[in-house]
Amino acid sequence: MHHEQPDSASLRWRIEPHLPHLRRYARALTGSQQAGDGLVRALLLDLVEGRTTLAGDDNPRQALFALFHRRNRLPHADRQALLLTVVEGFGLDQAARILRETPVAVQQSIAAARTAIADMIRSRVLIIEDEPLIAMALEQLMTDMGHSIVGMAATEAQAVAIVAANPPDLVLADIQLADGSSGIDAVNRILAVNDVPIIFITGYPERLLTGLLPEPAFLIAKPFDPDVVAATVGQALLARLPDFAPAP
C-alpha cells in the first residue's frame, strides 16, 4: 500500500481546506475557470515538487494566498484588494501582507475598484431564483447599483423564455429551482445562444469549486452578503471589457 510522505501529508492537510477559496479568487480575478484553475494548479505543482514552500504555520490560508501572489503576475491590483477583503473576507492588514502593500495602499485600491464598478456601463440582468424573498433582494440590490432587470425566473423554462425575448448582459442563477429543474441546465441552454457572464448564487459553492469539471468562474455563497454580490457583479462585468486581460 502506498503511504504519503509525512511532509506531503502535512502540506495537503494545511492547504486542502483552502483550495476552493483560492480557486474562487483566481477564477474571479482572471474572469475564467480555465485561467484561474491553471494558475492554482501551477502553484500546487511547485509546492509538491519542492520548487517553493509554504510559510505561515499560524495562518496557512493567508500564506497560501500570499504565495499565489508572489508566484504570479496578476491583473488589476485594485480588484485584487477588493476581492481579497470583500469576497474572501481577509482583513485590511491581512490583505496588505498578501499583496505586500501597506494597509493604506490597499484601502486606496479598494476605493478605486469601487469607483470603477460604479462608473461602468449599466447592464441588463436576469435573475434565476425560486425563493421570492431572495429574488426580490437581488432585484433591489441590482437596481440600487444602477442595473435594470430583464426578468426574474423561478424555473429553467422561464429563464430560457426570458432570454429568448429579452437577452441580458448578466445572469444571476441559483442551482436548485422551483419545479425541480436545474439552474445549471438553464445556464447551459442560455450560453448555447448567448455569451453572457454567469454568477451562481448557491448554498453549496464548494461543489462547484473542485477544479475537476467545467465550472463557473463566479460563485457566491448563500446566505449572501450584499457587498460580496456587488463586488462579484462588478468583477464579472469588468472582466468582459476589451482591456481586461491577465498579465502574462
165/213 same-domain check: yes
- Domain end, chosen from 91, 117, 143, is at 117
20/44 same-domain check: yes
Domain range for 219: 122-238
pLDDT at residue 118, rounded to an integer: 75
CATH number at residue 105: 1.20.140.160
CATH number at residue 221: 3.40.50.2300
pLDDT at residue 121, rounded to an integer: 64
129/209 same-domain check: yes
> Residue 142: in which H helix or E strand, if any?
helix 132-144
CA dihedral sign of residues 52, 106, 90, 18: negative
The grid cell for 223 is 446566505
The grid cell for 53 is 514552500
Please tell me the total count of domains within the chain.
2
- Residue 96 domain-assigned? yes
pLDDT at residue 7, rounded to an integer: 65
97/197 same-domain check: no
Give the residues across from 227 on adjacent strands.
none
- Domain end, chosen from 102, 117, 132, is at 117
- Domain end, chosen from 99, 117, 135, is at 117
Question: CA–CA distance from 71 to each of 40, 41, 64, 66, 217 (Å)?
Answer: 10, 12, 11, 9, 21
- 206-214's contacts with Cβ under 8 Å and 24+ in sequence apart are 206/20, 209/19, 209/20, 209/21, 209/23, 209/24, 210/20, 211/19, 211/23, 211/37, 211/40, 211/41, 214/33
- Residue 244 domain-assigned? no
Q: What one-character-per-residue DSSP string does 30-78 give?
A: HT-HHHHHHHHHHHHHHHHTTSS----TT-HHHHHHHHHHHHS--S-HH
167/127 same-domain check: yes
132/80 same-domain check: no
Q: What is the pTM of this model?
A: 0.70
Picking from 34, 101, 31, 112, the residue whose alpha carbon sits closest to that of residue 92 is 101
110/132 same-domain check: no
103/130 same-domain check: no
Instruction: Provide block-wise average pLDDT over 10 residues at a time, the chain (248 residues).
Output: 54 87 92 90 91 82 95 86 94 96 95 81 90 95 93 95 95 90 89 91 75 72 91 84 47
pLDDT at residue 241, rounded to an integer: 62
The grid cell for 150 is 430583464
C-alpha 16, offset from chain centre: 18
